[in-house]
Structure 1
């Protein structure tokens, strides 16, 4: 795990220092009512050989890094930071305590893991619809000695039977040979071309 330290600079500012391999990552955090800002910068300092030290010099802060490739000084002022190419005089500087903390990267990763929502499970496929069963044919309707059937249209009452839709003459015949009008059911005479009751044409 990377080594990290942090320090409260006052006036809502906080600094986090972390050694990631050969880089020193400095994160400046500022908090104000209703807002929070954070900015990180990485400097090639090499791996640390001693814990970092932080000094306050006037209105700026000086971060001292001892690494395997030498000594480095980083100036922090406001929300900006810059590498110093010379060793500043720290005789009048005030040393600030640094607290060892978990690495910033690890904290961010933990926050991301906590915020991750497990993926939704796919919905099971819908079952195919069962085909509709064919309708049963309409059964003949019976009332006493009268029977009616829809397809073809037939009506029986005793020895008399009347059927519609199958006569080429436009008239119905009974079993006894008598003719009836297919429109109104009136009795017809042989040779009639029109029904004497309703005027229906019989040809």
Structure 2
């Protein structure tokens, strides 16, 4: 037997008893989000439908079995078995109804496709390439991964002035690069 109760704030609690096990599921459905949490307790076979009471601290669930009464507290998505009998004097009993099953509020999601490698991107006067990594915007250009060798302006051996493309010093013959 499955029972359901609307808690408000788009939350519904579902109660199920199978054998000696009581399963409590709290489902929250809101714009763009869904949450569901379940907890099970060993309570024994129910003798009567469960009862829910709204208190100042949340909701208390009362379950009557052959071994006695069990009380379970629900606060938000927290569900805990109470160690003692609560005072329900000012508590408001909530409406609970029987349902055929606990609906699957979580839709199955398809896995995402892997991202494709980025190719050249062009937006207005901005252009990006990934291999080799470079970006151009207007008359500015930035390249990554390239480490151009600085061209010497003077020979490190004799100090004579050399040109940027020279491989050897024209004065002493020293190898520049």
TM-score normalised by the shorter chain: which range applies?
0.5 to 0.7
Structure-2 residue corresponding to 1:75: 73
Mapping of 1:90-109 within 5 angstroms? 90-104=88-102
CA distance in 1, matches of 2:56, 2:66: 29
CA distance in 2, matches of 1:31, 1:103: 17
TM-score (norm 1): 0.50
Structure-2 residue corresponding to 1:58: 56
Alpha-carbon deviations, 1:114-145, whole Å to 9, x = none? xxxxxxxxxxxxxxxxxxxxxxxxxxxxxxxx
CA distance in 2, matches of 1:59, 1:84: 13
With a CA cutoff of 8 Å and minimum separation of 6, indicate the structure with the bigger relative contact order.
2
CA distance in 1, matches of 2:55, 2:88: 8
Alpha-carbon deviations, 1:58-91, whole Å to 9, x = none? 1410000001221100000000110001110001
CA distance in 2, matches of 1:59, 1:31: 21
Structure-2 residue corresponding to 1:38: 36
TM-score (norm 2): 0.57
Structure-1 residue corresponding to 2:148: none
CA distance in 2, matches of 1:98, 1:14: 10
Secondary structure of the residue aligned to 1:81 is strand
Larger radius of gyration: 1
Structure-1 residue corresponding to 2:83: 85
Structure-1 residue corresponding to 2:113: none
CA distance in 2, matches of 1:21, 1:41: 15
Mapping of 1:171-182 within 5 angstroms? none
Distance of aligned partners of 1:62 and 1:81 in 2 relative to their CA distance in 1, 3 Å threshold: same
- Please list every run of 5 or more consecutive structure 1 residues that lacks an aligned counterpart in the other structure: 113-203
CA distance in 2, matches of 1:86, 1:59: 15
CA distance in 2, matches of 1:22, 1:15: 19
Give 1 or 2: higher helix fraction. Answer: 1
CA distance in 2, matches of 1:30, 1:89: 28
Equivalences, count: 106
Secondary structure of the residue aligned to 1:85 is coil
Structure-2 residue corresponding to 1:25: 23
Secondary structure of the residue aligned to 2:85 is coil
RMSD, aligned α-carbons: 1.6
